[in-house]
Amino acid sequence: MSETHAEHEAPRSFIRRYIFSMDHKVIGIQYLLAMLLLAVVGLALTVVMRWHLGIRTVLRPETYLSLMTMHASLMFVVVTVTPTSAFGNYFLPLQVGARDMAFPFLNMLSFWVALAAGLVLLSSLIVGAPISGWTAYPPLSAVGGVAGPGLGLGQTLWLVAVALLCVSSMMGALNFIATTLNLRTRGMSMMRLPVSVWGWLTAAVTGLLVFPVLSAGGIMLLLDRLGKTSFFVPSGLYLGGEVLPHQGGSPLLWQHLFWFFGHPEVYIVIVPSMCMVTHIMANFARRPIFGYRYLVLSLFGFVTLGGVVWGHHMFVSGMSPYSGLAFSILTLFVSIPAAIFAISWLMTLWGARIQFRPPMLYCLGFVSLFISGGVGGLFNAQSSLDIYLHDTYWVVGHLHLLFAMAAIFSVFAAIHFWFPKMFGRMMNDTLGTIHFWFTLVGAYIIFLTMHYMGFLGHPRRYAEISQFDFLKPAASAHTLISVVALITAGAQILFLFNFFWSLFAGRKAATNPWNSTSLEWTLPNPVPFSNFERDIPVVHRWAYDFELPGGAQDYEMQTAPGPSMDGQTGKGVPTEKST
């Protein structure tokens, strides 16, 4: 029984090779391109919304709300899957030294289901997108069209898309875990894995545990909508001039189920981002990662804490104040693994000879955004302060700084870093640098201003602010944000241009242009169908042996024998005889 594709020939036909491909590299690129497309749509929605909020009122309130819902949902589909599914798919098998994923067919299925999820989501935009936000809190989302426009068919399609996403993510997660555990090459012990692999593994484990919960919640919500059950709908709701037939459900149940998924979901995005950044940063700092073991430990911390802090989204939701207390304290503890990462980055950079190439710039931007977003979280985590900050623009600013901006910076870093291996060409450094500065400054101005608007008590999801006197001072802030957001969104054209131009006209890349250490850089461009053309190389060290004393070059590939700085030399390394 063998499922590796070393034993079958590379498919010849175009369709089997590039469309319905089971090759993890093709699937990785498919993910990347599909998600770039969806991200552009999501960004376009932002442009419309910012135009409406800060420059001229052009939308109906319900249109604003549907655009907002679609923006969040699309980005959440996109951002969720990109760090893991695009880069994880392409580079996890390469970095652990495998010929493919453990389940190539499941991998293909996972992509097509994810794509279907994205398309169904887009189709809900056409029939009238829901206005219930990406959290889809019932009863608004559960009782159908009587609650508002878009809550009929649009909301149902939205739910179908979410269900598809769950299925796709579960298949992906299963595959990632099996591959990491089962397909490592000789000498690649768990403590020698590149940190990026650890990140993908962590995301997969988290995903495997929480996506089923969302899908169960989704089934119940779908039944509430289509089967007229009342899981999330209490008795005696009066909507649209009549009393609804539902009886006895609890809207809070959905919030519990949703956030049990929703909070770890943030880690599913940010943890692989952090890990990819750590990996890339070590390369451009030419320094071994500081505290690799602690990083791995703190990943376990993220998974564990991620599963027990969902209640901090519900401090004012009407759940028991005692649980609020518990969730608040637990949430503050999340700062520990996060700080371990921050300290590791700082220490890795300290005194390093930094090469300021675009991948590194994005990593540095990531760290800065991560610190800013992270300290903001210390405010929300305190239940008493969250009474004020909850559901205000503070939260919008906070989540975008971390969940959106930091994550997208890691994606930019990864694209610039791995582009040569994926497409055999280099991206343009100058364009990358300009794009970096525009995006970083833009992100800070936009989202720090939003934090600041939170002080006013500006509720989020407001289509207009003219009604309230206490929001009058926010009008100029909205204009500022909109202008900067339009410029920043415009700057993304630089990136898209750089990406597509380099795809065809970039400088041809060498096998290992960044003098990097992990296994993918031992492979020729383009990477052959079964990755390692002959035997899979044996690994003798971790991926962060930079600046070794006394070496001829300032790095050692993982395949190079000899003493390493990973503290495990001699352990688990096969003797020469056995190769």
- Establish if 219 lies at the interface with another protein (CB under 8 A): yes
What letter represents residue 514's amino acid?
Answer: W
Beta carbon of residue 502, minimum distance to another protein (angstroms, whole number): 26
**Closer residue to another protein (CB): 3 or 525:** 3
Contact range with another protein by CB under 8 A, out of 19-27, 112-120, 240-248, 430-438: 240-248
- Establish if 253 lies at the interface with another protein (CB under 8 A): yes
Beta carbon of residue 301, minimum distance to another protein (angstroms, whole number): 12
Beta carbon of residue 490, minimum distance to another protein (angstroms, whole number): 21
- Establish if 77 lies at the interface with another protein (CB under 8 A): no
Reduced to 3 states (helix: H, G, I; strand: E, B; else coil), residue 314 is coil
Return the residue of 33, 346, 493, 496 that touches another protein, per CB under 8 A.
346
CA-CA distances (angstroms) from residue 290 to 154, 294, 357, 567? 49, 9, 21, 12
Beta carbon of residue 66, minimum distance to another protein (angstroms, whole number): 10
Please state, as a whole number, how many other Cβ atoms lie within 10 Å of the Cβ of residue 545. Answer: 23
Please state, as a whole number, how many other Cβ atoms lie within 10 Å of the Cβ of residue 356. Answer: 12
Reduced to 3 states (helix: H, G, I; strand: E, B; else coil), residue 242 is strand
- CA 487, chain centre distance (Å): 24
Reduced to 3 states (helix: H, G, I; strand: E, B; else coil), residue 32 is helix
Considering only residues 173 to 202 of the shown chain, the ones binding another protein according to CB under 8 A are: 173-175, 177-178, 181-186
**CA dist., res. 363 & res. 346, Å (int):** 12
Q: What SS3 string covers 348-371? A: HHCCCCCCCCHHHHHHHHHHHHHH
Which helix (H) or strand (E) is 239 found in, with range? strand 238-239
- Establish if 125 lies at the interface with another protein (CB under 8 A): no
CA geometry: angle 459, 461, 465, nearest 5 deg: 65
The site map against another protein for 353-372 (x = CB under 8 A) is xx-x-------x--xx--xx
**Token output for 248:** 């006895």
Q: What SS3 string covers 143-208? A: CHHHHCCCCCHHHHHHHHHHHHHHHHHHHHHHHHHHHHHHCCCCCCCHHHCCHHHHHHHHHHHHHH
Q: What are phi and psi of 350, to 5 degrees?
A: -60, 120
**Token output for 363:** 């990593």
Beta carbon of residue 549, minimum distance to another protein (angstroms, whole number): 9
- Establish if 387 lies at the interface with another protein (CB under 8 A): yes
Q: What are phi and psi of 398, to 5 degrees?
A: -60, -50
Return the residue of 35, 45, 98, 481 that touches another protein, per CB under 8 A.
98
Return the residue of 11, 149, 301, 424 that touches another protein, per CB under 8 A.
149
**CA dist., res. 94 & res. 530, Å (int):** 10
Q: What are phi and psi of 185, to 5 degrees?
A: -80, 175
- Establish if 139 lies at the interface with another protein (CB under 8 A): yes
Count of residues binding another protein (CB under 8 A)?
153
To 10 degrees, what angle do helices 407-423 and 358-380 make? 150
The site map against another protein for 525-544 (x = CB under 8 A) is -------x--xx-x------
Beta carbon of residue 48, minimum distance to another protein (angstroms, whole number): 17
Q: At which residue do the structure tokens 């989302």 appear?
A: 141
The site map against another protein for 417-456 (x = CB under 8 A) is -----------------------------------xx-xx
- Establish if 286 lies at the interface with another protein (CB under 8 A): yes
Beta carbon of residue 529, minimum distance to another protein (angstroms, whole number): 14
- Establish if 347 lies at the interface with another protein (CB under 8 A): yes
- Establish if 210 lies at the interface with another protein (CB under 8 A): yes
- Establish if 474 lies at the interface with another protein (CB under 8 A): yes
**Token output for 12:** 């010849």
- Establish if 550 lies at the interface with another protein (CB under 8 A): no
**Closer residue to another protein (CB): 297 or 510:** 297
Considering only residues 13 to 72 of the shown chain, the ones binding another protein according to CB under 8 A are: 60-62, 65
Beta carbon of residue 84, minimum distance to another protein (angstroms, whole number): 15
Return the residue of 329, 493, 496, 510 that touches another protein, per CB under 8 A.
329
- Establish if 256 lies at the interface with another protein (CB under 8 A): yes
Return the residue of 20, 51, 112, 468 that touches another protein, per CB under 8 A.
468
Beta carbon of residue 205, minimum distance to another protein (angstroms, whole number): 9
- Establish if 294 lies at the interface with another protein (CB under 8 A): yes
In 296-389, beta strands by DSSP E? none
Q: What are phi and psi of 134, to 5 degrees?
A: -75, -15
The site map against another protein for 482-501 (x = CB under 8 A) is --------------------
- Establish if 323 lies at the interface with another protein (CB under 8 A): no
